[in-house]
Chain A
Amino acid sequence: MIEVKDIEKSFDGVKVLKGVSATFETGKINLIIGQSGSGKTVLMKSLVGLVRPEHGAILYDGRDLMTMDATQLRQLRTEIGMLFQGSALFDSETVLGNVEFPLMMYTRMTPAERRDRARFCLERVGLKGADEKFPSEISGGMQKRVAIARAIALNPKYLFCDEPNSGLDPKTSILIDELLYDITHEYGMTTVINTHDMNSVLGIGENIIFINKGHREWVGNKDLIYTTTNEALSDFVFATDLFQKVKAYVLEHTHQ
């Protein structure tokens, strides 16, 4: 479980996070949702210590990240996997090399075992036959999936994904959602996902935190979201005609 208590962060005097508190539960998919520019990425980077908030506490099963020294932080990070919004693959390594990289740094696997594990992870994200390509030679969506494979290679205890399915087609997007859902439950991970994809929100949102203008506006799950009275949230989630219809349909059928 990761607990965030009252964190504040500003850039050049402009407050981006204005006292956000939240709990991310173990063995569940925790979603952070909110409009573009609302501070999701800043919140996620604060969670992993890449951004230093001015105020607040971030507790990883009781261990406060804000008071850790460099060695403790490095130790904690060996338990973390993260997917960056821009993928952040290593240009100088091939697809396979990228996924093997954490295995090479932290396990005593033989090269053959490493390759097998990396191939297995790549298969799980639906990527085959691109092993020897370099990141610049594959598409954006493929890069994203390689980055997911790299993040899950070591079976991390805490998994962070910044928009795992932006830039993916709907089918692949669902494949990734299912994968994240499965591994979270299989290994009891604490998974935190930033997203604006409503399919993910309504599909796998077991614990949803809605961020609006630097505040935590709402907490709930994918079932509670249909009946929310929070205007900002329902404007955000049910912005399109299609999702309005979905909402009407769901509400009608659950009342009967």
Chain B
Amino acid sequence: MIIESSIARFGQYCIFMGRVFSVPQKWRVFGRKFIQEVGKLGLDSIPLTIVISIFIGAVICIQMQLNMTNPIMPAYSTGLATRDILLLEFSSAVLCLILSGKVGSNIASEIGTMRVTEQIDALEIMGINSACFLVLPKILAFMVFIPVLVIFSIATGLFGGWIIAAFTDLISVSRYIYGIQTMFIEWYVWYTIIKAIVFSVIITSVASYCGYYVKGGALEVGKASTNAVVSSYILILLFDLILTILLMQ
């Protein structure tokens, strides 16, 4: 039963995506919506990204320093570990998990409300492909903007570590800076951006799908937005594993 309904939902999702990825009817209107979505989904997520990254960066730095007190460990280990954790996992997977709570529930409730108040039907009646009109700008906007968020997250995360180095006696600033500059592998940056782009598509498309097919009223809109977040979590974790296997070998 569960398998059957999951396959049915996956099929419905694929058909929905087919409708989303079609040519917009009016490019000017599409452009305007795209810019709006960049603001709403992207720019508005910057404060959250910065706050979370600074704190996590600081905590990672403290943890690494406290747990690597063994004199055998080279001087750069704390900085290097902080940098690589941010680069490899935090600023893509964990950041996207957190953002899916904000962005995903926002999208699902917005589209779900439009569904239950017949605004989507009103678009359809005008001969507009409502899936493409509403969802494509969101997916593309978030996809284009997510690398910016990732870069912000890495930078502010490292800054969080620096704050610990500068204002506590745990580790010296020069040692921390030396650490984060040691053995830098450029590919890690690309790896994390590729992952984040995939996750961003998961977040926006799954949330849109959950909102678009709401049936009922306000109660169901709430459920849809919870579903959207939970489904995105699971898919992000799954794809994190798959992409890590594919990209890091």
Contacts and interface: CB of A to CB of B under 8 A. Distances in A.
Interface of A: 48, 50, 74-78, 80-82, 84, 86, 88-91, 101-102, 104-106
B119 A104 contact: no
Contact of A74 (B117, B118, B129): B129
Interface residues of B, number: 16
A152 to B, nearest CB: 13
Nearest to B128: A105
Nearest first, the 7 A-B pairs at minimum CB distance are: A77-B127, A88-B118, A88-B122, A78-B127, A74-B127, A82-B125, A84-B118
A48 B125 contact: yes
A50 B119 CA distance: 12
Contacts of A91: 113-114, 117, 119
Nearest to A160: B125
A86 B117 contact: yes
Contacts of B127: 74-78, 80, 106
B184 to A, nearest CB: 45
Given A84-B122, A89-B119, A91-B117, 14 more contacts: A50-B124, A77-B124, A77-B126, A78-B126, A80-B127, A82-B125, A88-B119, A88-B122, A101-B126, A102-B126, A104-B26, A104-B29, A105-B25, A106-B127
A95 to B, nearest CB: 15
Contacts of A102: 126
B44 interface: no
26 contacts: A48-B125, A50-B121, A50-B125, A74-B127, A75-B127, A76-B127, A77-B124, A77-B125, A77-B126, A77-B127, A81-B125, A82-B125, A84-B118, A84-B121, A88-B117, A88-B119, A88-B121, A91-B113, A91-B114, A91-B119, A104-B29, A105-B25, A105-B26, A105-B29, A105-B128, A106-B127
Interface in B109-141: 113-114, 117-119, 121-122, 124-129
B211 to A, nearest CB: 14
Contacts of B119: 88-91
A104 B27 CA distance: 11
Contacts of A78: 126-127
Contacts of B124: 50, 77
Contacts of B128: 74, 105
Contacts of B29: 104-105
